[in-house]
Amino acid sequence: MIEDQNDILDSRIKLHDKHRFEIKLDIDLDAAARSSYEVETYLFIPRSLNVGPHNYSKDSFYNSSQRYIRWRTPKISIGKLCDPSLSTSPLNRVRADLAKVLSGSTDQALASSICDEIRLLGCIIRGEIRDYVKVFIEGLATYSSAVPAAQRKLFVGEGLENFLGDLKALETALSSLKAEISDPAVPLRVRETMAFFDEYVSLILEEYLTSLIEALRSTPEARGRFGDIERGVLAIVTAQSRYRQAMKYPSVFVPGSSNEVIIYRRGVLKKFMSGVLYLKAEFSEWEALTQVFFGLAAGAAMLFAVVVTIYFQIRYTIRSIPFVAAAVISYMFKDRIKDWLKLLFSKSLTRWISDRKIDILDSSFGGARIGVLKEAVTFIPVRDVPPDITRLRRVDNITSVDEEGKPERVLKYKKEIVLYPKIIMEMHERRRDLNDIMRFNIRDIISQADDAEVDYPYVDLASGDVRSAACSRVYHLNMVLKYTYYTRSDQVAINYERIRIVVNKDGIVRLEEVRAA
């Protein structure tokens, strides 16, 4: 995973699977009444892949991409989640609303509130356990004998003990909450949400703590130093599968089987829990201004056809061969002119028009509009690439003639998001900052790539024999991203990233960050 950070936007680019990479932006909202940011992505595609405007349309691009706008998971430590005095803890809010239900309240909004808080609690627990385990694994790596004692992270030992204690306290609190929710007076929807949450947390504990056990056992030094902690973590992990089996949850690992159920079930549970963070997007396929420009293109083409027709009608009779020929030719050129002008507008006016406009709605507050997203994509000539982008594209060139050996087409994608922080902050106490996630599938781009391996003949230097070896054939998709963030207070922040996506016929081989010298 490649990360880049600045004061306003944190970006992470990572491989999602064999054919998709993901760009994730963490957005800290400014307190201004309105804030916006732009992401300009320039994808330099080798011409040898035969991808261009003739066979890769706007629809092809949008069909290959997925985008999500969601709240960032609130940060509340595991220890604080169980603190009765913390009013923002979902655990405490569930208990407060549950007490009202058990007291006889029939308010339907209470049941919805409890379900949302349970799902938010699941997201927070997952995020905290994941982050803690990541830190501990990095720290445990310093306990290798190859690392000098002075460089070992001393906080790991105390941190692990506190983490294990917090997990046990959380398990006790969740067990008590589950017993309360099992009361028949609690609405069925709440009880079913709790069952999903219970199974999800069990899977999370098993998944992340198994990675922690592996790290604890990775070096003799770490295993000797943290033996008691390893046994405590192991006890929690081994109890999870037995627990899910006893509860008759579907997500039970069966050695020797395909275990498709546990993977499928984990995905279903994760989507259900994280759904509480996702914002609703309402698509408007074509922005009105775009249609105005395209209408002008059609009008200009029609004007040409009419003027030619009138001119030849004045000079020749309607039944004459010159007039008929002129009418046919003007009709042919009318369509070409219209298409050419539409392409010109798409390339030249991307700054002001967009292909699509998407309203960002907060479904938890009656669909309140908290922002808008506009996006546009087009191929542009290499000569039209801005100088700052060109400089980053060429930063790793060895010689001045490198460009001639790797001709490219440039696909530009621009996304602008305008947010209304004032509205967001009035409605939310914990869910304020956002994640903007985009996943892009390269399958169509590599469809005409050559085979992933090619035989290469060579002479063995020792024996002089001619041999053949299979060599990998790869292509480089170079991507330059420009992030621009604006606020009403006239603050502007600009940041760049350059990523090399190494691909072959079978998919993405790796991602590489290219830094300016």
Sites in the chain below the pLDDT cut of 70: 1-11, 30-34, 145-155, 284-302, 304-305, 308, 312, 316, 323-324, 331-353, 365, 397-405, 487-490, 516-517
pLDDT on residue 20: 94
Residue 501 pairs with which residues in a beta bridge?
Answer: 477, 511
Burial of 118 (0-12, 13-18, 19+ CB in 10 A): buried
How far apart are the C-alpha atoms of 147 and 190, rounded to whole Å? 50
**pLDDT single digits (tens) 276-294:** 998 887 776 555 455 555 6
pLDDT on residue 47: 92
| 3-state secondary structure (DSSP) of residue 119 | helix
| 3-state secondary structure (DSSP) of residue 437 | strand
Please say whether the beta carbons of 437 and 67 come within 8 A.
Answer: yes
Using alpha carbons, select from 102, 96, 94, 97 the residue that is nearest to residue 120: 94
How far apart are the C-alpha atoms of 414 and 377, rounded to whole Å? 6
Rg (the chain; Cα; Å): 30
pLDDT on residue 29: 73
Burial of 459 (0-12, 13-18, 19+ CB in 10 A): exposed
pLDDT on residue 105: 85
Strands of 434-441's sheet in order across: 2-5, 9-15, 20-27, 434-441, 65-71
Using alpha carbons, select from 26, 32, 27 the residue that is nearest to residue 491: 32
Residues in CB range of 171: below 8 A, 6 or more apart: 236
* Residue 458, H or E segment: strand 453-459
Q: Calculate the CA dihedral of residues 423, 427, 431, 436 and round it to 10 degrees.
A: -30
Q: How many CB atoms lie within 10 A of CB 516?
A: 9
Helix (H) and strand (E) counts for the chain? 13, 15
| 3-state secondary structure (DSSP) of residue 313 | helix
| 3-state secondary structure (DSSP) of residue 490 | coil
Using alpha carbons, select from 393, 375, 496, 503 the residue that is nearest to residue 441: 503
Concatenating the DSSP letter of every residue in 261-308 gives: HHHHHHHHHHHHHHGGGBPEEEEESS-HHHHHHHHHHHHHHHHHHHHH
What is this structure's pTM?
Answer: 0.77
Residues in CB range of 104: below 8 A, 6 or more apart: none
Backbone torsions φ then ψ of 350, nearest 5 degrees: -60, -25
* Residue 8, H or E segment: none
Taking the domains of the chain in order of start, what are their residue ranges? 2-72+354-513, 78-276, 288-348
Residues in CB range of 163: below 8 A, 6 or more apart: 78, 132, 136
**pLDDT single digits (tens) 79-100:** 999 999 998 999 999 999 999 9
Please say whether the beta carbons of 393 and 478 come within 8 A.
Answer: yes
How far apart are the C-alpha atoms of 453 and 305, rounded to whole Å? 54
Distances (CA, A) of 176 to 94, 182, 183, 352, 502: 12, 10, 12, 57, 51
How far apart are the C-alpha atoms of 4 and 12, rounded to whole Å? 6
How far apart are the C-alpha atoms of 477 and 425, rounded to whole Å? 40
